[in-house]
């Protein structure tokens, strides 16, 4: 029984082929294809409004140099948002519950922001490792602490996204299993458990959206530090 709870986090296979790649490509297929007109229908209007709103929120803390990252950050938040929400559907697989995928997104983007800072303003970027006015005996310890905190940033990004989504999926499966088990024995308790499951599902929808936003927002803040 304990192993079956974690089976949902393993990639399904069809004819020996992992289906994680189609699940990553599916969100892109949901977006409408471009046509001859700027706005084709109401769905396109809502999507354009949402993309504009998200881009504005992400680009507000950045200066004009950071606006070059607008397309990348907007595409990333849309990808994470759609994958997280699609993973809440029954009989689906959520790639963002895999730490390997989240680290594959977090590590290169964090490294890109770090290299941009070292290339454009090396003195300021290295100055973050040692706060101004630090007593001389504390300099080696503070440099070590700040370097460690800098290097664990991509790990924190990946683990935060993985842990929040994994915990939510496990809670949903545990409560749904309890609802089905209690239904023939105690229908009233089962109905109460089903209500809790419904509220938890709404909460998980909010968590999926918030975690996608937090992931990209932290990347934009790391970018702001280095430009």
Position 12 scores a pLDDT of 67
> Which DSSP category does 138 fall into?
G
> Which residues have a Cβ under 8 Å from the Cβ of 204 and sit 6 or more positions away?
88, 168, 169, 171, 172
Single out the residue of 39, 149, 22 nearest to residue 93, CA to CA.
22
Beta bridge partners of 18: 13
Residue 18 three-state SS: strand
Position 40 scores a pLDDT of 65
pLDDT mean by block of 10 residues, the chain; 227 residues: 57 70 67 63 76 81 79 86 84 82 92 87 76 75 84 91 89 87 86 90 92 90 83
Single out the residue of 219, 221, 224 nearest to residue 106, CA to CA.
219
Position 4 scores a pLDDT of 59
**Measured between alpha carbons, how far is 208 from 81 in angstroms, rounded to an integer?**
7
**Measured between alpha carbons, how far is 54 from 183 in angstroms, rounded to an integer?**
43
Position 1 scores a pLDDT of 44
CA distances from 66 to 15, 62, 130 (A): 45, 5, 25
Position 10 scores a pLDDT of 65
Single out the residue of 67, 45, 49 nearest to residue 58, CA to CA.
67
The H-assigned helical ranges of 60-186 are 70-86, 99-120, 122-127, 139-151, 153-182
């Amino acid at each position: 029984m304990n192993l079956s709870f974690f089976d949902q986090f393993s990639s399904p296979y069809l004819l020996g082929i992992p289906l994680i790649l189609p699940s990553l490509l599916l969100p892109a297929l949901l977006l409408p294809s471009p046509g001859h007109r700027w706005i084709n229908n109401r769905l396109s209007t809502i999507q354009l409004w949402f993309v504009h709103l998200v881009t504005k929120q992400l680009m507000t803390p950045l200066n004009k140099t950071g606006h070059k990252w607008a397309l990348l950050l907007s595409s990333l938040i849309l990808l994470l948002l759609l994958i997280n929400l699609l993973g809440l559907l029954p009989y689906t697989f959520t790639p963002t519950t895999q730490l390997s995928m989240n680290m594959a997104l977090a590590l290169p983007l964090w490294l890109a922001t770090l290299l941009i800072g070292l290339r454009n303003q090396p003195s300021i970027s290295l100055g973050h490792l040692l706060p101004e006015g630090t007593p001389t005996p504390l300099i080696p310890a503070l440099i070590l602490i700040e370097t460690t905190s800098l290097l664990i940033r991509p790990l924190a990004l990946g683990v935060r996204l993985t842990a929040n989504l994994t915990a939510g999926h496990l809670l949903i499966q545990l409560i749904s299993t309890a609802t089905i088990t209690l239904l023939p024995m105690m229908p009233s308790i089962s109905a109460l458990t089903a209500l809790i499951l419904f509220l938890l599902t709404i909460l998980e929808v909010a968590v999926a959206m918030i975690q996608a936003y937090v992931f990209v927002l932290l990347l934009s803040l790391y970018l702001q530090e280095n430009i």
